Amino acid sequence: MTDAATRSDCPPRRLPSHLPSHPPRHLPPRAGLGLKPEHYGHVLEHRPDIGFFEVHAENYMGAGGPPHRYLEAVAKLYPLSLHGVGLSIGAARPLDKAHLSRLRTLVERYKPQSFSEHLAWSTHDTGFLNDLLPLPYTDETLARVIDHVDEAQQAIGQRLLLENPSTYVLFADSTIDEIDFLEEIAARTGCGLLLDVNNVMVSSVNHRLDPRTYIDRFPVERVGEIHLAGYDETVDGAGDRLLIDAHGSPVKTDVMALYEHALARTGPVPTLIEWDNDVPDFATLQAEAVRADALIVREAARRNRQTRAA
């Protein structure tokens, strides 16, 4: 394996001059929720106590209509973040210029306080795949992802937060550790990182790794947002546990414990509850946000006590 520290001796490439060296945290260090169409009315009528709302960018790339009317109203009341699912950062083909153009239009329209995407690929030749697929961690893919993150940040005029993936297979030709891979991308492009704690749990269980060790090694100074979600569980062909990043249930107890461990390293960080399938009523989602908010407040209090004691 090539030493990631050696790679990081190279200066950042084409980093826009207005972007600072580490991701600013404009979103409040509170829990947020994904904004779902079935909850538009509730949010606007009751204005619930939520730190921020996040939407998938691709759902709002049309020119107008009810989705934009509601999102504009919500954006006047709450901080907003955009989460991309279709940029295909890791694809072997060039980034889609039309997609980047639509994304820039969306960023200029709503001025979100953060934009994030996945370390994954979802395009091949002229086809689009409805999935976020893993990539091998090699020098070739590293160079490609760095180029694509550079291009995306230049196109939208805003720092990108890159999310660690949930994975179910390991590539025999990978030569770079995942954390080293992410850290090198951030060092070379100036992007931030999105720490998905549920993805850490899913990948660690599936590959028989220690999730706390992953968190302990993660470059937390680059984390601009955390994600939490529920997973499904089954068994693989050998009868071993297999976790699936399903986003259709409450955050599991072990993920919340891992989140608390992560907060001890990151400090209070904006945290999104992801629940994209079998979406429940708003009260159920808000209860999940309250759980995360309680841990954020606890970590802030712990740090305040440490500061006073010092």
Domain chopping of the chain, boundaries = 4-309
For 67, the token pair is: 């989705």
Across the range 217-224, mean pLDDT stands at 97
Integer Cα distance of 47 and 115 in angstroms: 23
Q: Quick check: 22 pLDDT over 60?
A: no
Q: 4-309 has which CATH code?
A: 3.20.20.150
Give yes or no for a contact between 212 and 258, defined as CB atoms under 8 angstroms apart.
yes
The whole model's pTM is what?
Answer: 0.90
Residue in the block written with tokens 């994304």: 103
pLDDT value at residue 244: 95
The lowest-confidence range among 10-14, 110-114, 156-160, 215-219 is: 10-14
- Indicate whether 23 pLDDT > 60: no
DSSP conformational letter for 53: E
Whether residue 209 contacts residue 203, with contact meaning beta carbons closer than 8 Å, is answered with yes
Cβ contacts of 72 within 8 Å, gap of 6 or more: 110
The pairing of strands 121-124 and 127-133 is antiparallel
| Per-residue pLDDT band at 64 (split at 50, 70, 90) | confident
12, pLDDT greater than 80: no
Residue 182's φ and ψ, nearest 5 degrees, are -65, -45
The span from the CA of 78 to the CA of 247, in Å, is: 23
Q: How far apart, in whole angstroms, are the C-alpha atoms of residue 242 and residue 267?
A: 30
CA dist 197 and 139 (Å) reads 26
Least confident of 10-19, 87-96, 123-132, 270-279: 10-19
Distance CA 29, CA 26 (A): 9
Find where tokens 């429940």 sit.
280
Q: Tell me the pLDDT band of 155, cut-offs 50, 70 and 90.
A: very high
Q: Indicate if the pLDDT at residue 209 is higher than 60.
A: yes
pLDDT band at 204 (very low <50, low <70, confident <90, very high): very high
Nearest Cα to Cα of residue 106 among 66, 34, 57: 57
